Amino acid sequence: MTRKLLKNARYISHETGLPKVRSGHIAIQGSKIVAITDTLAGTDFDEFEPLDMSDKLVSPGLINAHTHAVLLVLRGTVEDIEGNLVYQYMVPASYLLEPKERAAIARLACAEAIRSGTTTMVDPLRHVADYAPAMIETGMRLWLAESCADAVTTEVGSGKYRFDREFGETFLTRTRDLIEQFHGSEDDRVRVMIAAHAPDNCSPWMLGQLTDLARKHGLRRTVHLSQIISEKEQVESLHGCTSTEYLDRNNFLGDDLLAVHWTFCNDSDVARLAETGTWLAHCPSSMSAKGPHPLPMRAILDNNVKIVLGTDNMTEDMFHAMKVGLTLHRGAYQRAVTPTPQHVFNYATVNAARALDHSGIGSIAVGMKADLAMFDLMTPALSPRVSAISNIVHYGHPGTVTDTMVDGRFLMRDRVLTTIDERAAVQEAQAATEAMWQRFGAEDRGVPLPSTDLY
């Protein structure tokens, strides 16, 4: 069992709820923090490997509460294209990739996440079993989910909704297989959750099946909610209500649900979501690629909705999420200084741990998992320093992270990845991306292709 002593550390504590910087020495044995002491005396930690943290800030690892690692294949393309991006680009891309290509893209996503100080990723998509082993090998803490639907999602891009129970059973079977193969694996570093793709493509039957699975296995749940206009219109046409009302009628809301986006929620929806304790998994950066994300942010804040952050598509950089999230949330009141950087930092740490129902992550304390990120206090972006938390949320970026640790194991040490061959990961993901776009372009899909400057 490894023993490490993070000496002379400044670290982020959540003893009072909001993050504050403390100083001390952090002892790690195996996967957990076993002691935090103000002073060192005697021989208590002689058997621990000493690691000097004098110029670093030790932070809880960031928790990405909603991402699609494989959709990194779309980076630098759909951000600049109009259309129904979900059904005309994202769904086709997820099917066009070959299994090894999915794994290559997912591995690169993990590399970016580790460089960004992220220790946990929540990843619902399709064909998850193809790339789950590649993500697990990186050492990341993971919640994986097969995104389920019983509307034939490959047809929705052409404007057609056709529900097919056999199609839906494919995803339910994959979900059961994921649970059996991966849930609780790697000493519980990997968990599985239940994912309904979205209200427009999940029938009441599908929602019921997913609820039953979640209850049977005690799993958290997630769903895209009021994400795009076609979802809103489909649910209104088919069910005569909002997406929130539809989920509520089918007993799908609750404090075990991470509902993502909320773009077209109205004030009544928000009030009901708050009442049921449903979590908002906000992906402010990806949803603002074409302008500020127009979700009802003032109603969300006024109703004290519980918030976590994700990166969604095309990036794993949680600094983007925190900075853009802070800006959008403050914009709900035109110009404001609330929420504070400390509250936004909590979205990406302690809030996310609570949303995932994991009492061992999200903060630094004795008995907690040693899921940590170390920031370079001598880097210009974080200096001069009056409030380190404010600096991180406003000005942090992946280059400010020196080390990332999960379960007491360094995934990055002194800015070098330890579990991924970074150059190979970049090259393999590039080859996978080019192959996918060649297949995409070979089919007449009636949608614009991205511009390219490859040579």
User: Domain locations in the chain?
Assistant: 3-60+365-415, 62-355
Q: Residue 289 forms beta bridges with which residues? A: 291
Domain spanning 62-355: which CATH class is it, in words? alpha beta
How confident is the prediction for the chain on average, in pLDDT? 97
Residue 329 CB partners (closer than 8 Å, separation 6+): 284, 297, 301, 339, 344
The pTM score is 0.98
Residue 90, classed as helix, strand or coil, is: helix
Q: Whole-angstrom Cα distance, residue 203 to residue 106?
A: 30
Q: Whole-angstrom Cα distance, residue 173 to residue 171?
A: 5
Query: pLDDT > 90: what percent of the chain?
Result: 95
The token duo for 342 is 């400390």
Q: Residue 146 forms beta bridges with which residues? A: 125
Residue closest to 64 by CA, chosen among 303, 301, 318: 318
Report, as an integer, the average pLDDT of 72-95: 95
Question: How does residue 43 score in pLDDT terms, banded at 50, 70 and 90?
Answer: confident
Cis peptide before 398 (omega within 30 of 0): no
Looking at residue 158, what is its pLDDT? Answer: 82
Question: How does residue 160 score in pLDDT terms, banded at 50, 70 and 90?
Answer: confident
| 358 has pLDDT over 80 | yes
* Correct CATH for 3-60+365-415 of 3.40.640.10, 1.10.287.130, 2.30.40.10, 2.30.30.100: 2.30.40.10
Element spanning 393, H or E: helix 388-395
pLDDT single digits (tens) 385-398 = 999 999 999 999 99
pLDDT single digits (tens) 257-307 = 999 999 999 999 999 999 999 999 999 999 999 999 999 999 999 999 999
Residue 406 CB partners (closer than 8 Å, separation 6+): 61, 119, 139, 140, 141, 189, 369, 370, 371
Looking at residue 454, what is its pLDDT? Answer: 72
Looking at residue 455, what is its pLDDT? Answer: 60
Looking at residue 445, what is its pLDDT? Answer: 86
pLDDT single digits (tens) 337-349 = 999 999 999 999 9
The token duo for 36 is 């935090």
